[in-house]
């Protein structure tokens, strides 16, 4: 046999290159056969665990027939019947728009990452950067391939760096559809959105075995790093999917609100005016301490009532997500009175800060709906770093260059008023509903501080309750209303609740060319971490 002869596992497929008459059809048939065998094996292994294969996931996510695979046989020896690396990469379309995608293939060496897989993933992100299109990563992997040692570790480092280079240039979405363990978790952690499924989806820096060995703690995969933990407690994940189909469907939906890159204009859709009129004001009770679901307000003012929440179950005292207003994609941030009275805390501040920062990176206008009694008081919050972590939200709004439209629905007190997209932080157009309470402190707290002496005297005279009520009423009359803010230019107007949607829409239209870039002397600011 000559050196140029490639002997395939099936003798009948032997190809003689020396004659330079390559039997293309037979070779392609062989390639296809290898692919089919690999997929069959993958289906057997994955379906037994209730999971799709990498290729099934790609096919479900992308528009039918749109996938162009890149480097299918990289990392393997076709002649020896090896099917390639443990990751499937390529380009395709979602709702007619280009995306780049990589999906780890658990059926090949546990989806682990070695040299070939690292090269393929980095090449995919590079291709996405070149084409200025979103990149989607589907994780299902045992992490760094132990046999490749430091080579595998180095590849993770390169993926981290590439992901950071792509951050803010193209949207990056990660789906965790299997294990994602060890330092490998930082690959999705550096992307914009993480989607996990209720079952089969785990993320942890150290797995249950290591935890048991080092600390003695006995913990399950789910309790350590399951989707519930990361959606409800840690805030690592942005969406809790029922199953893989739901995860893939959410990814398609999410992308409809995002531009393909930071230079592209924000998505704009034809909007057909609906003949539905919701009394927005009636959703919000007059009494400021009575809770209501702010999602009902959002649904009432956005196109078709469609609102896609991000991190729905984490820091539920604030709501963030995407919607369209008269066809224009916007990011919405709103205090949520049904959870912790809508107070701001460490988690809410970070959740909203990251969201505003994402919107700013991709030129998506931010609409802020304010109904906030203040920061949550107490030692727990102070010790958790409310100063450091709360500062992130100020930073995000203050450095944002996208249109910022803010509406105060019912109340905005103290520092929380300033933080929530106020005029002084850079809010472009700021409105309030009639009767909105805007002040440094609520009447009870303020009166007991500024009228301490009168109240002490009243206490001695036995009419403290009466005096307190009178002073509170006077304080509310003079200080707790939006009219002072209008006069000072902190508000651009008082609007009727039922004009909220039209006012926001007109404001966004008026601000559409806004795209200021901060040109201070610094190389970059030092965002609070
Ligand atoms: C090499 C691995 C592997 C690994 C799994 N496999 N993990 N091979 N390196 N890290 C192989 C298995 O040997 C097996 O091969 C196949 O993949 C499937 O694995 P199973 O264990 O049979 O599957 P399952 O029971 O579903 O368990 C999946 C798992 C478990 C939970 C992921 O495999 C596991 O705990 N693996 C190790 C996880 C880990 O600690 N990784 C290193 C993390 S550190 P065969 O031939 O039998 O099919 C890391 C550093 C990143 O990633 C650094 C960044 C800075």
User: Token pair 């034809």 is at which residue?
Assistant: 270
401 touches 518 (CB < 8 A): yes
The catalytic position among 149, 183, 378, 525 is 183
Label the pairing between strands 318-325 and 328-335.
antiparallel
pLDDT digits (tens, 9 = 90+) for 175-213: 999 999 988 999 999 999 999 999 999 999 998 998 999
Angle at alpha carbon of residue 455, lines to 450 and 461, rounded to 5°: 160
Average pLDDT, the chain: 92
pLDDT digits (tens, 9 = 90+) for 440-485: 988 888 999 999 999 999 999 999 999 999 999 999 888 888 888 9
How far from chain centre, in Å, is Cα 281? 29
CB neighbour burial string for 365-385, b if at least 16 within 10 angstroms, e if fewer: bbbbbbbbbbbbeeeebeebe
Segment 204-233 mean pLDDT: 94
Q: Which of 38, 104, 142 to mutate to test the pocket of ligand 1 (most atoms within 8 A of CB)?
A: 142
What's the CA-to-centroid distance between 179 and ligand 1, angstroms?
9
Going by alpha carbons, the residue nearest to atom 24 of ligand 1 is 110
To the query of whether residue 123 is one of the catalytic residues in this protein, the response is no
What are the φ and ψ backbone dihedral angles of 454, each rounded to 5 degrees? -60, -40
Going by alpha carbons, the residue nearest to atom 35 of ligand 1 is 142
To the query of whether residue 323 is one of the catalytic residues in this protein, the response is no
CA pair distance 337, 127, nearest whole angstrom: 44
The catalytic position among 100, 103, 181, 416 is 416
How far from chain centre, in Å, is Cα 340? 22
Report which listed range, 2-6, 156-160, 182-186, is most confident: 156-160
pLDDT digits (tens, 9 = 90+) for 506-517: 999 999 999 766
What's the CA-to-centroid distance between 89 and ligand 1, angstroms?
21
Global pTM reads 0.93
**pLDDT at residue 519 above 80?**
no
Residues flanking ligand 1, CB < 6 Å: 109-110, 112, 142-146, 153, 156, 179, 181-184, 207
Better-predicted residue by pLDDT, 494 or 24: 494
To the query of whether residue 183 is one of the catalytic residues in this protein, the response is yes
102 touches 124 (CB < 8 A): yes
**pLDDT at residue 12 above 80?**
no
Residue 68 binned pLDDT confidence (cut-offs 50, 70, 90): very high
CA pair distance 377, 163, nearest whole angstrom: 37
To the query of whether residue 90 is one of the catalytic residues in this protein, the response is no
The catalytic position among 81, 154, 207, 415 is 415
Nearest CA to 278 out of 313, 303, 308 is that of: 303
Beta partners for residue 6, in sequence order: 15
pLDDT digits (tens, 9 = 90+) for 368-392: 999 999 999 999 999 999 999 999 9
184 touches 156 (CB < 8 A): yes
Residue 522 binned pLDDT confidence (cut-offs 50, 70, 90): confident
Angle formed by the axes of helices 443-450 and 464-479, nearest 10°: 110
pLDDT digits (tens, 9 = 90+) for 21-66: 556 777 788 888 888 888 999 999 999 999 999 999 999 999 999 9
């Amino acid at each position: 046999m000559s050196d140029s002869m490639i002997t395939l596992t099936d003798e009948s497929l032997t190809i003689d290159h020396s004659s330079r008459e390559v039997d293309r059809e037979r070779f392609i048939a062989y390639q296809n056969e290898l692919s089919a065998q690999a997929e069959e094996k993958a289906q057997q292994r994955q379906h037994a665990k209730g999971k799709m294969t990498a290729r099934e996931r790609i096919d479900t996510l992308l528009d039918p027939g749109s996938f162009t695979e890149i480097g299918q046989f990289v990392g393997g020896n076709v002649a020896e019947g090896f099917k390639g690396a443990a990751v499937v990469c390529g380009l395709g379309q979602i709702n007619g728009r280009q995306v780049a995608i990589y999906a780890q293939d658990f059926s090949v060496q546990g989806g682990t990452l070695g040299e070939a897989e690292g090269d393929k993933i980095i090449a995919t992100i590079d291709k996405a950067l070149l084409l200025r299109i979103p990149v989607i990563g589907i994780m299902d992997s045992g992490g760094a391939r132990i046999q490749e040692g430091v080579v595998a570790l180095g590849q993770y480092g390169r993926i981290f760096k590439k992901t950071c280079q792509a951050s803010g240039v193209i949207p990056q979405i990660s789906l965790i559809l299997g294990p994602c363990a060890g330092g490998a978790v930082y690959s999705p952690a550096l992307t914009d959105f993480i989607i996990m499924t209720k079952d089969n989806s785990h993320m942890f820096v150290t797995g249950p075995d290591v935890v048991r060995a080092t600390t003695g703690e006995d913990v399950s995969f789910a309790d350590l790093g399951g989707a519930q933990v990361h959606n409800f407690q840690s805030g690592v994940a942005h969406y809790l999917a029922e199953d893989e189909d739901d995860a893939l469907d959410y990814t398609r939906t999410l992308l409809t609100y995002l531009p393909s890159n930071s230079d592209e204009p924000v998505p704009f859709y034809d909007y057909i005016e609906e003949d539905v009129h919701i009394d927005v004001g009636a959703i919000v009770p007059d009494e400021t301490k009575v809770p209501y679901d702010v999602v009902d307000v959002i649904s009432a003012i956005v196109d078709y009532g469609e609102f896609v929440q991000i991190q729905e179950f984490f820091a539920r005292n604030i709501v963030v997500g995407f919607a369209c207003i008269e066809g224009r994609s916007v990011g919405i941030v709103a205090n949520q009175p049904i959870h912790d009275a809508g107070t701001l805390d460490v988690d809410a501040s970070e959740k909203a800060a990251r969201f505003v920062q994402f919107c700013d990176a991709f030129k998506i206008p931010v609409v802020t709906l304010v109904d906030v009694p203040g920061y949550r008081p107490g030692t727990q919050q102070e010790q958790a770093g409310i100063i450091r972590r709360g500062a992130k939200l100020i930073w995000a709004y203050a450095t944002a260059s996208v249109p910022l439209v803010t509406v105060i629905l019912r109340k905005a007190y103290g520092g929380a008023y300033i933080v929530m997209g106020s005029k002084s932080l850079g809010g472009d157009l700021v409105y309030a509903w009639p009767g909105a309470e805007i002040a440094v402190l609520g009447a009870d707290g303020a009166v007991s501080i500024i009228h301490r002496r009168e109240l002490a005297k009243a206490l001695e005279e036995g009419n403290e309750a009466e005096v307190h009520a009178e002073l509170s009423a006077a304080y509310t009359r003079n200080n707790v209303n939006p009219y002072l803010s209008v006069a000072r230019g902190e508000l651009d107007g008082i609007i009727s609740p039922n004009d909220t949607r039209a006012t926001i829409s007109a404001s966004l239209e008026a601000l559409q060319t806004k795209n200021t870039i901060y040109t201070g002397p610094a190389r970059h600011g030092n965002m609070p971490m």
